[in-house]
Amino acid sequence: MTPSDTNNVLVTGGSGYLGTRVLTDLLNTGVHVRTTVRSLDGEPALREAVRRGGADDTDLELVVASLTDDAGWDAATDGVDGVYHLATPMTHATEPRELVVTPAHDGTVRVLRAAARAGVRRVVLTSSFAAVGYSPKPVNADGAREYDESDWTDPETPDLPAYPLSKAVAERAAWDFIAEHGDGMELVALNPTWIAGPTLTNDARSSLQAFAAILGGQMPLAPRQRFGIADVRDVSAAHLAAMSTPDAAGKRYLLLADGPTISWLGVATLLRDHFGDLAAKAPTEEVPGEELPGLVIHNERAKRELGFAPRSAEATIVETVEGMIARGMLG
The answer to whether position 280 is within a domain reads: yes
Q: 3 pLDDT exceeds 60?
A: no
CA atoms within 13 A on the CB side of 2: 1
The answer to whether position 184 is within a domain reads: yes
Q: 299 pLDDT exceeds 60?
A: yes
The predicted structure's pLDDT at residue 101? 79
* φ, ψ for residue 149, nearest 5 deg: -70, -10
CA dihedral 208, 211, 278, 45 (to 10 degrees): 10
Range of the domain at 212: 3-326
**Is the CB of residue 256 less than 8 Å from the CB of residue 310?**
yes
For residue 33, name the pLDDT band (cuts at 50, 70, 90): very high
Q: Which residues are catalytic?
A: 167
CA 242 from centre of chain: 14
The predicted structure's pLDDT at residue 162? 86
The answer to whether position 63 is within a domain reads: yes
The answer to whether position 142 is within a domain reads: yes
**Is the CB of residue 88 less than 8 Å from the CB of residue 166?**
yes
Q: 95 pLDDT exceeds 80?
A: no
Cα 129 to Cα 100, 151, 296: the distances in Å are: 18, 10, 12
CATH code, domain with 102: 3.40.50.720
The answer to whether position 67 is within a domain reads: yes
123 bridge partner residues: 83, 187
**Is the CB of residue 255 less than 8 Å from the CB of residue 238?**
yes
The predicted structure's pLDDT at residue 207? 86
Q: 288 pLDDT exceeds 90?
A: yes
As a three-state string, the secondary structure of 102-115 is HHHHHHHHHHHHHH
Mean pLDDT across 149-175:
94
The answer to whether position 250 is within a domain reads: yes
Give the number of domains in the chain: 1
The answer to whether position 331 is within a domain reads: no
Q: pLDDT over 70 for what percent of the chain?
A: 95
Q: 242 pLDDT exceeds 50?
A: yes
